[in-house]
Structure formats: C-alpha cells, structure tokens
C-alpha cells in the first residue's frame, strides 16, 4: 500500500517508487507528450534516462495515483525553471480527457504552497496545446505574456510560442477561500 503525500477527490500524489520509473520513462517517450511539450526525447536507454532524471533538480516529483484502482495515472513535478518552480503534468493516454490533469495540477500546486513554502509556481503551454492551457486556467494560473518564449519546433514545423503562466500564494489562497 502506497503512502500518499496528498489526496483529492479522485487522485493522490505519492512518491515515485522504483516500479513507477519505467512508466514515467514511457510517458516522456510518448510522441504525443513530446509534441505537446515541444521536445524530442534523446535516444537513450531507460538506465541512462533514469541516471539523468535522478540528477535533475526538482522541488516535487510525484506519481499520480488513482487510489480506488491503485493505478498509476501519470507523473507531476514542480521542476526548476528560469523564474519559478514549474508545473509539469503528464498523464497516461487512457487517463487523459477526464479532468485528472487538472486535479493533479491542483494537488501539486496546493502541496507546493501549503507544505513546501513556495511563493510562486510557473507553468507553460505551447500555443497550439489548448488542453494544457485550459488545465492551467482551470487551476487558476494567470498568463504572464511578457515572459512568453518563441522557439523552433522540435519537429521541424516552424516556430512555437511557449505561453507563460504563473500562480502565486496569495492568489491560490484567495481562490481556495481561506484567505
């Protein structure tokens, strides 16, 4: 039985266990995930990826679990970005489109603010990735257009605009009605 850092209505966030690592690797290698995040995964073995992943700085790195099914739904992190911890949510394909990304994002943001003492959390979505944009907006993130970035599309399809979003503690607290 897993210990959960935090739980929501349908999901829980838990430490990434050794048996989850292959599932996280598979998520990063999913072409749809790569397209939406505008990157192409390096041609590396699971073992090399795992070594690199364990060295990457992150404030929070969790498995998203559906406790009722004891199922691995995806991965969420508050990783290091230029300005703030940056929210990243990756869901397995069979769990997409049902609101689980939004719930997991809310759990991670709440945990970051309430238990880790973070004051600001960033987020981003490619201009073509409406699903991620809606998720960030539903959670309560606001656009920070002055920090948008323009990058070459990793798939050789022109330019991509990375839309920048931010959430701060005061906004989060007021949205949750506890401030």
Task: Report pLDDT digits (tens) over 127-174.
Answer: 999 999 999 999 999 999 999 999 988 888 889 999 999 999 999 999
Query: The whole model's pTM is what?
Result: 0.91
Task: Name all domains of the chain by residue range, CATH numbers in brackets.
Answer: 4-175 (3.40.630.30)
**At 102, which helix (H) or strand (E)?**
helix 100-116
Task: Report pLDDT digits (tens) over 45-104.
Answer: 999 988 888 888 788 999 999 999 999 999 999 987 666 799 999 999 999 999 999 999
List, in order, residues 6 or more apart from 79 with CB less than 8 Å away. Answer: 56, 57, 58, 59, 61, 85, 86, 88
95 vs 42, higher pLDDT: 95
Distance CA 110, CA 114 (A): 6
Is 179's pLDDT higher than 60?
no
Distance CA 101, CA 176 (A): 18
């Amino acid at each position: 039985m897993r210990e959960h850092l935090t739980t929501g209505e349908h999901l829980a966030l838990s430490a990434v266990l050794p048996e989850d690592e292959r599932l996280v690797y598979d998520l990063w290698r999913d072409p749809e995930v790569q397209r939406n995040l505008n990157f192409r995964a390096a041609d590396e073995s699971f073992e090399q990826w795992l070594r690199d992943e364990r060295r990457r700085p992150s404030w929070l790195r969790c498995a998203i679990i559906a406790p009722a099914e004891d199922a691995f739904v995806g991965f969420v992190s508050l990783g290091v970005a230029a300005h703030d911890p940056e929210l990243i949510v990756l869901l397995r394909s069979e769990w997409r489109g049902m609101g689980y990304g939004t719930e997991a994002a809310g759990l991670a943001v709440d945990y970051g603010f309430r238990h880790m003492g973070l004051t600001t959390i960033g987020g981003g979505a490619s201009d073509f990735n409406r699903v991620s944009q809606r998720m960030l907006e539903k959670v309560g993130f606001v656009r920070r257009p002055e920090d948008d970035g323009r990058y070459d599309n990793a798939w050789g399809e022109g330019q991509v605009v990375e839309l920048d979003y931010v959430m701060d503690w005061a906004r989060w607290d007021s949205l949750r009605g506890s401030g």
